[in-house]
Each structure stands twice: as C-alpha cells, then as structure tokens.
Amino acid sequence: MLVAPSSNRVYADAAPRLAAAEIETVLAAFGSTPDVAPIDLAGVDYLTISASGDEVVPALSNLSATFALFEREGELLRPIPLQRRQFYPSDLVTIQKYQGKTNEQWTRLLLNVTAAATKRPSKWLDGGLDVMDPMCGRGTTLNIALLAGYSVTGVDVDRKDYDTYAAFLKTWVQAHRLKHTMDRGASTTGGRARGREFTLEVAPTKDAFKTGDTQTVRYLSTDTTDLGGLVRAASIDVIVTDTPYGVQHGSHGDRLSRRPLELLDRAMPAWIRTLRTGGTVGLSYNRHVAPAENLALMLEQHGLIVVTDWRDSPFRHRVDASIDRDLIVARKES
Ligand SMILES: C[S@@+](CC[C@H](N)C(=O)[O-])C[C@H]1O[C@@H](n2cnc3c(N)ncnc32)[C@H](O)[C@@H]1O
C-alpha cells in the first residue's frame, strides 16, 4: 500500500502506524489476521500487507490512508485496481474549510473502524449502512458517508453550523447538477417545537433517482441529549462522532462542550436507543479532557461492550499541545 501523501501532513510520524492499525482492525473483522510492516522501496515508503480472503482488496481500497495498492511480483509492483465506494465527486469533503473542522482522513478512519466492529461488517462494503453523527458540526461525517453511498443522519445544537451546512449542501448538489429534493422545516413532536431540520434526497445519476435508488442526508438542529420522537429507535448501524475537545473552538464554547464526559453520559441513552442490536458507537476524543478509563467505564455503564483497546490504543496520537487524540468503539450487544 502506498499511503496517501496527505496523511503524512495530518499525522506527521503517526501516519504509517495509524494506517497499519486501521488495516489490522478492519481486516480482523473479516476474519483475516494480516502481517503489516513498513518498507522502503527505491526510496519511497510503503506498507506491506500479507493477507488473504475475498474481502481484502475491497476493504483495503476503502481505508482512510490508501493511495494505491500493488501486488509484489519479485522486484516489480503490479497495480491492483481499487474498489472504492465513491459515488460523488470528492470535493464534497474538501471544499468546506473552517475552524473546528474534524480532519477528513481521521473521520474516515473512525467511520471505517466503527463500521467494521458491527455484528455485520459486510454492510460497510455493500452500502446498506445507516450512519448517524449526533454532534456533526458542519458535516464532515455526513459528507464522507454520502460519498460512500450510505444514508446518514446528523444532529447539532449549533444553529449556525446547521444553516451553513444546509446552504453548502444545497449549492453543492446544484453545482454538480445532481437530481435531488431538499425539504426544510421545523421539527415538532406532540406539539412541542424541537428545532429545525432538513432532509436531502439525492442519487448519483438521474436514472438512480428515478428508480428510487437514493440516499438521504437528514440534519436535525437540536440538542443531542434529547432525540426521542425525532430519530426512530433501532434504525442506525453506526454512530460516529468527534466529541467536543474541551478547548475553545470558535463558537462551540457552551458549558457541556467543555465537559465532554458529562455531555456523553447525558446523551448516551438517546443515542443507544437509535442503534440496532449489534450496532456500534465510535467516538473520537481528547484524552486530556476525557480520560480513556473513565470513558470506557461510562460506555459500559450504559450497557455497551467496549471493543477497542483503550489501555494501549494503536490509534492514539498527538494533534497539538492541548489535544491527545484517540478513538474508542463500543457495541450494543442486546
Ligand atoms: C468537535 S465538534 C464536531 C465537528 C464536526 N465533526 C465537523 O467536522 O464539523 C463537536 C460538536 O458538538 C456540538 N455539540 C456540543 N454540545 C451539543 C449538544 N448538546 N447537542 C448537539 N450538539 C452538540 C458542537 O456544536 C460541535 O459542533
């Protein structure tokens, strides 16, 4: 595997290690235990992966750091055609730039590792995955999920993020002349006002739209700790979110955002209710403000089973002096 050059800019020295951890975690879900090692070929860094199984190439094709895959034949490298799940132009993910945006590659890694940990990891490759980001900001996860052909729900309490993302998405589908409908309105349940919401229904081609082979992006501008009546119970396969870092990021400075553990503890019952049995929650978090042990304990207190190694996490990396970033994944067993 040739690791995408951008990942070196994002994670500096951690890029090959994070890529190796993603490969091992995702392939393990498909019953493969690969040997992964860094190698220098003619002055260029690659990862060598020894693995077998029908899912290996499709899985490797969709990892966050994959730039190109080759099969080694003696001294030579034979290119392997990638089997990427990419249904729309990739500028969907890259156009928006703003303070507090979660890194795209890290978001993709989090989605991949979380989807692979469900009871049915094949849904990640066959497209039948229902994704939710319950603190979605301006939609990095929503864009990545849409690009990969999944339907996705986003929630965020910040009205400005909602308005900005709704405007961006509408402009983007129009600019790419994608057939779509977009319904916007107020959410109400039992006569109670619950904020704003929009639903975009879109397909990569006119024919797909006509035959109803569409995806939806639904965004609720509301408090994530109270989703009752807004998101159907047992309708989501994977919840992925980049939790507040506990440091000031632009406008996201409310009291609970500075105490991510307290916020997660309050939100968890609402989130778990929306998950299907066998579904997973994947959280990106700052170990400085949410100690790993406390987070793992909190997830287990809500009845989830933590499936990643939080003690010696291969995904832990330093972003800057105030952010020691990691991820944790937990599954709803019953
Ligand atoms: C780290 S940011 C997510 C950024 C996002 N991944 C992106 O790339 O745009 C965390 C988000 O949590 C949201 N948030 C904090 N408290 C919330 C609450 N009670 N309900 C819903 N969203 C909340 C903030 O508004 C913020 O957008």
Do 62 and 139 have their domain in common? Answer: no
Shared-domain flag, residues 71 and 124: no
Residues 176 and 221 in one domain: yes
- Distance, in Å, from the CA atom of 21 to the CA atom of 1, rounded to the nearest integer, reads 13
Which pLDDT does position 251 carry in this prediction?
46
Nearest ligand 1 atom, CA 107: 6
* Other residues' Cβ atoms within 10 Å of the Cβ of residue 313: 15
Same domain, 165 and 302: yes
Identify whether 85 is part of a domain.
no
What one-letter code names the amino acid at 165? Y
76 CA distance to ligand 1 middle (Å): 47
> What CA–CA distance (Å, rounded) separates 327 from 7?
17
Residue 257: the pLDDT is: 63
Q: Is residue 42 part of a domain?
A: yes
Q: Determine the distance separating the centroid of ligand 1 and the alpha carbon of 14, expressed in angstroms.
A: 26
User: Residue ranges of the chain with pLDDT lower than 70?
Assistant: 7-10, 247-258
Is residue 68 domain-resident? yes
- At 16 the pLDDT is 87
Instruction: Tell me: do 115 and 143 sit in the same domain.
Output: yes
64 contacts: CB under 8 Å, gap ≥ 6: 7, 19, 22, 105, 106, 108, 109, 112
What residue's CA is closest to ligand 1, atom 27? 137
> Is there a single domain that holds both residue 102 and residue 173?
yes
Query: What's the Cα-to-Cα distance from 94 to each of 104, 152, 168, 270, rounded to whole Å?
Result: 8, 18, 12, 31
Sign of the dihedral defined by the CA atoms of residues 256, 260, 262, 265, in that order: positive
Query: Which of 152, 168, 252 to mutate to test ligand 1, by most ligand atoms within 8 A of the CB atom?
Result: 252
Judgement on whether residues 99 and 70 belong to the same structural domain of the protein: no
Tell me, yes or no, whether 282 lies in a domain: yes
Q: Are residues 49 and 106 in the same domain?
A: no
For ligand 1, atom 5: residue with the closest CA: 137
**Pair (218, 266) in one structural domain:** yes
* pLDDT, tens digit (0-9, with 9 covering 90-100), for 269-328: 999 999 999 999 999 999 999 999 999 999 999 999 999 999 999 999 998 888 999 999
Q: Does a structural domain hold residue 26?
A: yes
**What is the predicted pLDDT for the residue at 256?**
56
Same domain, 191 and 255: yes
Residue 178: left if φ>0, alpha if ψ -120 to 50, beta else—which one? Answer: beta
Q: Which of 54, 80, 106 is the last residue of a domain?
A: 80
* Integer Cα distance of 271 and 258 in angstroms: 20
Q: What confidence score (pLDDT) does residue 299 get?
A: 98
Burial degree of 273 (CB within 10 A; 0-12, 13-18, 19+): middle
Pocket of ligand 1 (CB under 6 A): 100-102, 135-138, 140-141, 155-158, 161, 223-225, 242, 244-245, 252, 256-257, 263
| Contact by Cβ (8 Å): 136, 242 | no
Query: What is the count of structural domains for the chain?
Result: 2
> Residue 265 C-alpha to ligand 1 middle, in angstroms?
15
Cα–Cα distance, 292 to 103 (Å, whole number): 21
Same domain, 253 and 156: yes
Domain that holds residue 107: 91-331
- Spatial distance between the Cα atoms of 287 and 322, rounded to a whole number of angstroms: 10
Q: Which of 229, 228, 222, 179 is nearest to 200 (CA)?
A: 179
Measured by CA distance, the residue closest to atom 22 of ligand 1 is 156
